[in-house]
Structure 1
């Protein structure tokens, strides 16, 4: 796949994150180099990720009536790291296309 057709995703790291840190996508541990790279203050994934966003009135109504479910792609990226000697987690960091 060429550089121009590859769909990548990026996630901005919290400003106070320091190494070492752990990355999770949808609760699954990720490995640097195999699953993502760190570029500046960003995590870059070699795959597309999406967030579901808010559901509109019609979608909510169809879910409530049992006509449809909510099975859209909804990826969640979490980063666990230490701040002042305590373990903290930045949860559901917004994902965006890598440009």
Structure 2
């Protein structure tokens, strides 16, 4: 199987402006390690994997879920950062996910 033509995708997650080191990063509740799972670049976390958010559901999908015809089974990753602000532990949860091209590092 030849996949060399496919663009490699990474994921950018912008850190809140008041985050300072040290901080902890969790994806779907699992702790991630800087340097192995992500790097910090320009006020953002850069993951070498493609994370996804489910996005908004349309009227048809909501109706089918309410009627019990279908469920919501799309991938919905969650990135949380735990850090200290004013001496207290703070959790920034469900940070916005932005898929980017690994070559450019810019939002895609």
What's the TM-score, normalizing by structure 1?
0.91
Counterpart of 1:54 (choices 53, 56, 71) is 56
Residues 37-96 of structure 1 show CA distances to partners (whole Å, capped at 9, x for unaligned) of 001201000111111122111001111222211000111110000001110011111000
In structure 1, the residue matched to 2:86 is 84
Superposed, 1:30-49 pairs within 5 Å as: 30-49=32-51
| Structure 1 unpaired stretches of 5+ | none
CA distance in 1, matches of 2:10, 2:34: 15
Superposed, 1:3-82 pairs within 5 Å as: 5-82=7-84
| Structure 2 unpaired stretches of 5+ | 101-105
CA distance in 1, matches of 2:80, 2:73: 21
In structure 2, the residue matched to 1:97 is 99
